[in-house]
């Protein structure tokens, strides 16, 4: 646990904390942190309970709208709004708990459908007075680049601490056992339902909190911008590429792939898509456990 | 006579429209070893599943230390000391050490540590390969791990479904030896078996036929009964 913190969490946070002083594209830095949180949040549910929610962006969008609505409708201060965003994602997570009865692709598709349903509920023109409907949100919460960045880092720290703790605690071991074989876990005396529920809500909360911070920073957005399926896809690809269930894997996944995306994805999208596709295929074919799997093979000789 | 640790009374169970158990009666006292004999399809596995809480009973009662546990979920029974060992019992993707930790989830840490040391002495092969994934173990070693994991939970009674299945005669000997040591330490056992060597461990023997358990027999009575011998162990003993 301390080794994980010293080797992965602290160095990453230290670099991210110093970067704004030497690199002036703050929006890009924030996006990196957003994807780091989303990848680690997805890592919580996929790495530790085996559920792969394609609709993970639904929590992100719920957090963004929880923030926006609490600020615009209730006049909440932005910091409280971030908590409201987290609360909104927890609520959505609770409403979706019946999905945990499904498995594999069925669960993935059902969570995707749920995220789409939430998008269309919020984007409903009849709800314009409440949610802004299809015309989106225009916030007056105040532009606070440093504060939002610091908040994003704090959320990242908490999410990674949770992952690091789970990798060493008995609770994490129970989750892994239930992921491996639910029946055998029940026969080992493990409360499977409770474990899965806790990790599902924690994962939802991480996405919701960072969605709220994203909304604060962005200030003006349309519903399909915060319910953009690309958030889910990126988070899944980064996590799997790096290695689910590990702490450093998703970090390297984000740094490498999101770095690649920003380096050539916008200037030369055709080559980016090609490089991306080939890279992911190669990894899936030869290293299904991601970058972490490669590291482990090297370590094992 | 001490009161029963485990008491099964008039247990009915089945799958869909198929009835397998038609009123099974069986009792195991504290520290006692009971062997459950039955041909394939007699209902041994069904009985053990009911006992573990993996299959709901359709009638009758299961009592544990005098308390009715017929409706308790599987995980609660384990925590009360009623454990079950089968091939299902191990987690292939986790290491051997992690598998043993999972067995000891509900035991305090000091006891768990002492217990683990004992189990590594009992099963040296597990100590040797403690950081390897359980999937890399052979069939016999997995069985050892299954037993060790169940024992790590410090059960009062361990129910086992054919611990000898798929093992070489030498490994069967090792399993029996380790079970004998657990028995000497006060563990009650309920072993569903077809291998005659397990009679050496038994205090009582129950035969399961047509979904009903006959009255308790002594191991000697089984050994001397030609019909039982033929029915369960073939002619070779």
Note whether A188 contacts B78, CB cutoff 8 Å. Answer: yes
pLDDT at A52: 93
* Cα gap A228→A187, rounded to integer Å: 41
Note whether B106 contacts A186, CB cutoff 8 Å. Answer: no
Mean model confidence pLDDT for chain B: 86
pLDDT (tens, 9 = 90+) of chain A, 301 residues, equals 788 888 889 999 999 999 998 888 889 999 999 999 999 999 999 999 999 999 999 999 999 999 999 999 998 899 999 999 999 999 999 999 999 999 888 999 999 999 999 999 999 999 888 888 888 899 887 888 899 999 999 999 999 999 999 998 889 999 999 998 888 888 888 888 999 999 999 999 999 999 999 999 999 999 999 999 989 999 999 999 999 989 999 999 999 999 988 888 778 888 888 888 888 788 778 877 888 888 888 877 6
Measured from the Cβ of residue A52, the count of other Cβ atoms closer than 10 Å reads 19
DSSP for residue B81: T
* Cα gap B91→A130, rounded to integer Å: 49
Query: Domain locations in chain A?
Result: 2-300
DSSP for residue A132: -
For B124, list phi and psi in degrees, rounded to 5. Answer: -60, -30
Residue B237 has pLDDT above 50, yes or no: no
Provide residues of B within 8 Å CB-CB of chain A: 52-54, 73-76, 78-79, 83-84, 88-94, 98, 101-103, 105-106, 149, 153
CA distances in angstroms from A16 to A154, A293, B191, listed in the order given: 11, 26, 59
Note whether A189 contacts B73, CB cutoff 8 Å. Answer: no
Contact B100, B148 (CB under 8 A): yes
Residue B88 has pLDDT above 80, yes or no: no
Residue B78: which of A176, A183, A187 has the nearest Cβ? A187
CA distance, residue B159 to nearest chain A CA (Å) = 12
Q: Least CA distance to B109: which residue of chain A?
A: A170
* Cα gap A277→A265, rounded to integer Å: 12
Residue B2: pLDDT band with limits 50, 70, 90: low
CA distance, residue A84 to nearest chain B CA (Å) = 36
* Mean pLDDT calculated for residue range B31-42: 88
Note whether B91 contacts A176, CB cutoff 8 Å. Answer: yes
pLDDT at A301: 65
**A188 contacts in chain B (CB < 8 Å):** 75, 78, 89, 102-103, 105, 149, 153
* Cα gap A264→B80, rounded to integer Å: 60
pLDDT at A281: 83
Q: Which of A49, A185, A189 to mutate to test the interface with B (most CBs of B within 10 A)?
A: A189
Output the pTM of the full model.
Answer: 0.83
Residue B196 has pLDDT above 90, yes or no: no
Half-sphere exposure of A280 (CA within 13 A, CB side): 17
pLDDT at B1: 43
The predicted-structure confidence for B102-120, as pLDDT tens digits, reads as follows 888 888 888 888 888 988 9
Residue B235 has pLDDT above 60, yes or no: no
Contacts of A120 (CB under 8 A, 6+ apart): none
The predicted-structure confidence for B39-70, as pLDDT tens digits, reads as follows 888 888 899 999 999 899 999 999 999 999 99
CA distances in angstroms from A244 to A105, A182, A238, B168, listed in the order given: 17, 19, 9, 39
ipTM over 0.90: no
Strands A220-221 and B59-64: unpaired
The residue ranking higher by pLDDT, B86 or A106, is: A106
Please work out, in degrees rounded to the nearest 5, the angle formed at the alpha carbon of residue B231 by the alpha carbons of B235 and B18. Answer: 150
pLDDT at A157: 96
Contacts of A233 (CB under 8 A, 6+ apart): A54
Q: How many CB pairs under 8 A join A and B?
A: 66
* Mean pLDDT calculated for residue range B205-229: 82
**Long-range contacts, A68-72 (Cβ 8 Å, 24+):** A68/A132, A68/A137, A68/A139, A68/A215, A69/A130, A69/A131, A71/A139, A71/A140, A71/A141, A72/A132, A72/A137, A72/A139
Of the candidate ranges A8-17, B16-25, B28-37, B214-223, the one whose mean pLDDT is the lowest: B214-223
pLDDT at A160: 96
Note whether A186 contacts B153, CB cutoff 8 Å. Answer: no
Note whether B98 contacts A170, CB cutoff 8 Å. Answer: no
């Amino acid at each position: 646990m301390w080794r994980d913190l010293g080797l992965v969490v602290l160095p990453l946070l230290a670099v991210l904390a110093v970067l704004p002083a030497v690199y002036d594209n703050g929006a890009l830095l924030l996006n990196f942190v957003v994807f780091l949180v989303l990848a680690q949040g997805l890592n919580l549910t996929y790495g530790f309970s085996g559920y792969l929610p394609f609709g993970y962006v639904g929590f992100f969008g719920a957090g963004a709208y929880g923030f926006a609505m609490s600020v615009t409708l209730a006049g909440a201060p932005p910091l409280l709004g971030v908590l409201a965003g987290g609360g909104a994602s927890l609520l959505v997570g609770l409403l979706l708990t019946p999905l945990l009865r499904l498995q594999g692709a069925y669960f993935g598709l059902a969570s995707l459908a749920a995220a789409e349903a939430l998008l269309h509920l919020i984007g409903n023109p009849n709800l314009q007075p409440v949610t802004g409907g299809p015309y989106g949100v225009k916030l007056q919460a105040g532009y606070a680049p440093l504060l939002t960045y610091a908040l994003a880092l704090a959320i990242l720290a908490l999410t990674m601490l949770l992952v690091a703790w789970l990798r060493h605690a008995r609770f994490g071991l129970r989750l892994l056992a239930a992921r491996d074989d639910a029946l055998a876990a029940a026969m080992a005396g493990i409360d499977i339902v409770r474990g899965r529920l806790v990790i599902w809500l924690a994962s939802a909360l991480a996405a919701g909190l960072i969605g709220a911070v994203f909304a604060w920073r962005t200030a003006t957005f349309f519903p399909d911008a915060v319910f953009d399926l690309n958030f889910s896809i990126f988070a899944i690809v980064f996590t799997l590429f790096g290695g689910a269930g590990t702490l450093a894997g998703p970090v390297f996944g984000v740094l490498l792939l999101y770095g690649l995306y920003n380096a050539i994805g916008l200037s030369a999208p055709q080559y980016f898509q090609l490089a991306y596709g080939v890279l992911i295929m190669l990894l899936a074919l030869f290293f299904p456990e991601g970058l972490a799997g490669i590291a482990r093979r090297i370590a094992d000789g | 006579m001490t009161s029963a640790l485990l008491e099964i009374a008039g247990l009915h169970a089945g799958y869909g429209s198929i009835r397998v158990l038609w009123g099974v009666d069986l009792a195991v006292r504290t520290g006692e070893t009971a062997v459950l004999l039955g041909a394939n399809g007699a209902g041994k596995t069904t009985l053990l599943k009911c006992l573990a809480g993996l299959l709901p009973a359709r009638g009758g009662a299961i009592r544990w230390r005098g308390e009715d546990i017929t409706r308790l979920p599987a995980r609660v029974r384990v925590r009360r000391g009623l454990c079950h060992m089968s091939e299902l019992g191990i987690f292939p993707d986790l290491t051997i050490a992690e598998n043993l930790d999972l067995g000891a989830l509900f035991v305090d840490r000091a006891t768990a540590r002492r217990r683990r040391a004992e189990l590594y002495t009992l099963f040296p092969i597990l100590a040797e390969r403690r950081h390897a994934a359980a999937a890399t173990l052979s069939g016999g070693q997995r069985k050892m791990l299954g037993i060790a994991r169940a024992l790590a939970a410090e059960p009062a009674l361990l129910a086992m479904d054919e611990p000898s299945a798929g093992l070489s005669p030498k490994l069967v000997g090792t399993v029996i030896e380790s079970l004998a040591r657990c028995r000497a330490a006060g563990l009650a056992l309920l072993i569903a078996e077809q291998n005659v060597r397990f009679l050496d461990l038994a205090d009582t023997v129950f035969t399961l036929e047509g979904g009903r358990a006959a009255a308790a027999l002594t191991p000697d009575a089984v050994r001397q009964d030609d019909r039982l011998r033929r029915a369960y162990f073939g002619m070779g003993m």
